């Protein structure tokens, strides 16, 4: 399975179109972790599963999204309602309650990819306003295999970022 994850596009609809045009036929599903600042009625959401963020004022976005794809169960949220600025405890608890193995979130605008308690936690960074030590506008693609997760980040031009590649054993 291959999953594309993007977040925090903050009104940049064109980049979401570009990503969808580049990857939609090559991935199993595409996810947007919130703060698009678009309306729920926007046709771009025909390409992505999406949750609302703290800068999404259309009340139609869900706060969380859960979906199973064969052996993977994905839990997605923006993160602001789970206190991720401080720690991942509440996010971890919610993902465990759903029996998820992949946890997707945004909000921090920082690339983050780690394995915690047999769940992979992924923040794709921000495609429009990166923060922290990695100042690259980016998104990622997760490839899941029977025994591993392979997470590769790409920049806004869809070019692989070699230093942002992570492998984890299941």
Containing structural domain, residue 136: 2-169
pLDDT at 63: 98
In tens, the pLDDT along 127-166 reads 999 999 999 999 999 999 999 999 999 999 999 999 999 9
In tens, the pLDDT along 60-72 reads 999 999 999 999 9
pLDDT at 108: 97
Domain count, the chain: 1
Compute the mean pLDDT over every residue in the chain, rounded to the nearest whole number.
Answer: 97
For the domain that residue 102 is a member of, what is the CATH number? Answer: 3.60.21.10
In tens, the pLDDT along 1-12 reads 999 999 999 999
The answer to whether 164 and 110 are in contact (CB under 8 A) is no
Return left, alpha or beta for 34; rule: phi > 0 is left, psi -120 to 50 is alpha, else beta. Answer: left
The answer to whether 168 and 145 are in contact (CB under 8 A) is no
In tens, the pLDDT along 101-115 reads 999 999 999 999 999
User: Is residue 85 very low, low, confident or very high in pLDDT (cuts 50, 70, 90)?
Assistant: very high
The answer to whether 103 and 120 are in contact (CB under 8 A) is yes
pLDDT at 91: 97
């Amino acid at each position: 399975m291959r999953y594309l994850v993007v977040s925090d596009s903050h009104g940049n609809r064109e980049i979401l179109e570009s990503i969808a045009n580049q990857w939609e036929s090559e991935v199993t599903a595409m996810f947007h972790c919130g703060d698009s600042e678009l309306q729920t009625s926007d046709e771009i959401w025909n390409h992505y599963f999406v949750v609302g963020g703290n800068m999404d004022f259309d009340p139609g976005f869900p706060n969380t999204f859960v979906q199973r794809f064969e052996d993977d169960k994905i839990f997605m949220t923006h993160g602001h309602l789970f206190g991720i600025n401080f720690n991942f405890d509440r996010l971890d608890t919610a993902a465990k309650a759903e029996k998820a193995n992949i946890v997707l979130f945004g909000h921090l605008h920082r690339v983050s990819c780690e394995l915690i308690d047999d769940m992979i936690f992924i923040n794709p960074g921000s495609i429009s306003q990166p923060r922290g030590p990695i100042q690259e506008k980016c998104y990622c693609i997760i490839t899941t295999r029977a025994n591993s997760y392979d997470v590769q980040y790409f920049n806004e031009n869809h070019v692989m970022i070699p230093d942002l590649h992570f492998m984890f054993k299941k």
